[in-house]
Structure formats: C-alpha cells, structure tokens
Amino acid sequence: MEKQGSEFGTKGATGITRIVRAFFYSLDGIGSAFRHEAAFRQESILAMLLVPLSFLLPVDASMRVLMIVSVLGVMIVELLNSAVEAVVDYISMEKHPLAKRAKDMGSAAVLMSLLSCGAVWATALYPLLFG
C-alpha cells in the first residue's frame, strides 16, 4: 500500500513548501468542484452576485460580514458534501443503507447552510425593504 499523501507530494514537505503545495491542491479542489458539481457552479454564481451586493447595501460592517460568511459557508458545506459523495461512490456504486445515510446527511448539511444563509440575508434585507 502506498503511503498516504505520496501521490500528491505532501509527505515530507515542511514549511513554506508544504503551504504552497497545499494552496495549489486546494485550488485544484475548487476547480474540480466547479467542473464536476453543478450545485457548486450554481452556488458560485450566487456568491458572485451576493458578495458584491452586500457592499452596495446600507448595512453595518458586522451584518455585511455575516452576509458574506453565510454565502461562503454554503460553498464550504457543498465542497464537503461533494467530497463525501465522491468517496462513497469511489468505494462502491452499489446501493447500501450507510452510503445513502452519508449522502443524505451531506445533502441535509447543504440544505441547512442554505437556510441559514437565507435567514441572514432576510434579516439584513427586511429593514431595508419594510422598515
């Protein structure tokens, strides 16, 4: 069995070399999610609209930070959900109750992050629209 991480050249790397390699592997992960995950592409488009919009709205800095973090949180949870799904599918495409549970829980996490994001944005927009 090959050493974990040796395929990626991360074992034995230290200091700035490890940080630089990790950064580029992270960019690879974002690129892979964008290429292979429709939901991540949709959430990326949403982020490209909502993050700039948060700077145009007359909200205080703490609310703006919450608005941005909630949008990025959705993307983070989507990345983790996609990773879980990829590993489950890699292990076996066979239907199994534990595989379904893992995928359903990942999906539920995405849903909860979307609902949280919606609640933050509704809280920010309500006084602007109705106050």
Active site residues: 78
**69-101 confidence digits (pLDDT tens):** 999 999 999 999 999 999 999 999 999 999 999
For residues 41-79, one letter each, b for 16 or more C-beta atoms within 10 angstroms of the residue's C-beta and e for the rest, the string is eebbeeeeebeeebeeeebeeebeebbbebbbbbbebbb
Global pTM reads 0.88
Query: Which numeric CATH code is attached to 37-130?
Result: 1.10.287.3610
Of 1-5, 28-32, 38-42, 81-85, the one with minimum mean pLDDT is 1-5
- In the chain, which residues fall in CATH 1.10.287.3610? 37-130
